[in-house]
Amino acid sequence: MKHILIISRLTLYTFILIQPTIGQTLSPESIRQRAEKSVAFISGRGGGCTAFFIGKGYLVTAGHCLDVLTADTITILLNGRSVKAKLEGNAKFNLNASSVNASSYRDLAVLRIKYSSDTINYIPLPIASYIMRKDDIIYSYSGQFNQLYNGTIAGYNSLRIVTYNMPICVEGNSGSPYLDSYGNVVGVASFGDGNDTETCVGANIASYLHLYGGIPGVKIIATSPAASLPSQPVSPVVTTPAISASVIKIASASIVSFPKNNSIGCMLNDGFILSRSSDFPRISEKKFTQLPITSQFMKQYFPVRKIIISDSLDLCFIKIEELVNNPSMAIANNYESNVITAFAIPSLNLADVKQATATMGSLYKNIALGILSISINRLSFVFNKDGVLIGLSTSACDGETACPFIDLVAIREKITNTLLRNRNVIHKNK
C-alpha cells in the first residue's frame, strides 16, 4: 500500500509539471522544476552544448553544436545523472550545422539517440506552435549551469527571437530552450549580439514544427493557454503585392553574367560589378584578366581585376577597366519599415524573378526572404519595391520556406570605402 501511495504521488507530481495551466502563468520556480527534468548538457570530443528532450529518444539543440559533437557517442548529463548515448544518423534535421554561420535564423538540430549505458529519466518539454509578442516575458534554462534565466522579448518574427536582459549567451548554453510563461518551448538559444551577453538571438522552433511530426511522444501546444492572447498562424511565407514590371526591367538591366565563371553580378557604377569573390579564384587585384561579360546591352571580353570587399561575406567587385560612367544601380540608404516588399533576380532571364517579403529586425545585419526557391548560380540579387539594391543571397535555398541574404545596407559603409579606396588608386596611377 505504501508503494502504491508513493507511485500515485509521483504520477500526480509529474502530471502537474507537464500540463499547461489554462489561463494562468506558471511561477518561475514551476518553470525551473519542469525544465530541469528535460534540459541536459551534452558533450562530445570537441566540447558541449545544452539540449532538451522533446520526445522519446529525441533531443533538440542548436545546429552549430554539431561542430563539437565530433564522435558518434555523446555524454548526456541531466539533473545530476550522466549516461552515454550513441547518435543515430547524427541529426534528424539540421538546418545549419556550421558555427561560422550561427547567425542563421535556422540554427536548429534534432538528435536521435540510443543509450549505450544506463537510461535516463526525463519529461519531454511541450513545443508551442503559437506566436509570442514583443515585450513578453521569456525564460531560458541552461543545462550547463542548471540555472533559469528570465528576460523580455526585444524583437520577434516568424524566424527568430531576440531576448533582452537574459544573459544566457555564453559558451555551452547554445541550444538552451526559450520558454514562455507556461513552460512551453518557443525557441532555441543560438548566438549573442556581439559582446553583449544580455542580448541573445534564438531560432523560433514553431516555424519548423512540420519537421517534428514523426517524433514519438512530441507534444505540440497549438494555442496559448492565455484566453486573452489569440493564437496566430505560423508561416514565414507572406503573399506580396505585384512589383511593377518597369521596375523589374530597370533592375534586371543592371545584372551581368560571367559565362566562363558560371556566375552573375550586379553593376553598381563606374564599371564596378558586385559579385561573389569565390567565383573568381584566378583573378587578382593587381593583375588584369580578360573575361567575357554579358548583359542585356553588351557581350564582349573586358580586362578586369578583382577587388575584395569582405572575405567573411565572400563579396568582391569585378572592376571593368574600360567601362566608366555606366548607368548605375544604387544601394539603398535605409529601409522605410521592418517589412519590405522585395524581389530577387537570380539570372539574366527577366522571367526569373522571385517576389517575397523581407523582414528586418533592428538588431540584425541579415534579412530573411520569404522565397520558396533560389538556386540558380547560388547567387541572387535582391531589390526593394523601388528597384533599389538591398541585398544578395549567396546560397541555394531550394525547397526552403525562407532564404537569408546579406544585408547590403548594413555593410554600405564597407562597400563605399572599398569603392573610394580603389578610385583613389586608379587616380594615382593615372
Task: Name the more confident of 396 and 240.
Answer: 396
DSSP β-ladder status, 220-221 and 127-128: parallel
Of the candidates 62, 119, 120, 48, which has an alpha carbon nearest to the alpha carbon of residue 91? 62
Mean pLDDT, rounded, for 2-7: 38
Task: Give which of 136, 140, 158, 134 is closest to 197, Cα–Cα.
Answer: 140
* Least confident among 96-110, 217-231, 329-343: 96-110
Please report the pLDDT score of residue 89 as a whole number: 59
Q: What is the pLDDT of residue 156?
A: 77
Among 184-193, 204-213, 360-369, 400-409, the range of highest mean pLDDT: 184-193
pLDDT tens, residue by residue, 248-282: 888 888 899 999 988 899 988 778 899 999 899 99
Q: How far apart are CA 357 and CA 366, in angstroms?
A: 14
Q: How large a percentage of the chain has pLDDT more than 70? A: 72
376 pLDDT above the threshold of 60: no
Of 303, 325, 311, 308, nearest in space to 274 by CA: 308
CA dihedral of residues 408, 414, 420, 426 (deg, nearest 10): -90
The enclosing H or E element of 309 equals strand 299-310
pLDDT at residue 348 is higher than 70? yes
Average model confidence (pLDDT) for the chain? 76
For 79-144, strand residue ranges (E) read 81-87, 93-94, 109-115, 127-128, 137-142
Most confidently modeled range among 233-237, 267-271, 321-325, 330-334: 267-271
pLDDT value of residue 93: 52
Provide the pLDDT for residue 226.
64
pLDDT at site 395: 66
pLDDT for the residue numbered 64: 81
- Section 310-319 average pLDDT: 88
Q: Among the listed ranges 66-80, 179-193, 395-409, which one has the minimum average pLDDT value?
A: 395-409
Q: What is the per-residue pLDDT across 275-294, written as a single tens digit (0 to 9) for each?
A: 999 899 999 888 889 999 99
pLDDT of 385-423, one tens digit each?
888 888 888 766 654 556 777 888 778 888 888 888 776
Q: Does the reported pTM lie above 0.75?
A: no
Of 87-96, 305-314, 381-390, give the lowest mean pLDDT range: 87-96
Provide the strand spans (E) within 144-285. Answer: 147-156, 160-164, 177-179, 185-193, 196-204, 220-221, 255-258, 263-267, 272-276
**Higher-pLDDT residue of 135, 213:** 135
Higher pLDDT among residues 163 and 337, named by residue: 163
44 or 72: which carries more pLDDT confidence?
Answer: 44
What percentage of the chain exceeds 90 in pLDDT?
A: 21
Q: At 362, is the pLDDT very low, low, confident or very high (cuts 50, 70, 90)?
A: very low
306 confidence band (pLDDT: 50, 70, 90):
very high
Contact at 8 Å (CB) between 294 and 250?
no
285's grid cell: 587585384
- Per-residue model confidence (pLDDT) at position 202: 86
Q: How far apart are CA 380 and CA 131, in angstroms?
A: 30
CB 383 within 8 A of CB 390: yes
Pick from 163-172, 187-196, 382-391: least confident: 187-196
Do 217 and 124 form a contact (C-beta atoms < 8 A)?
yes
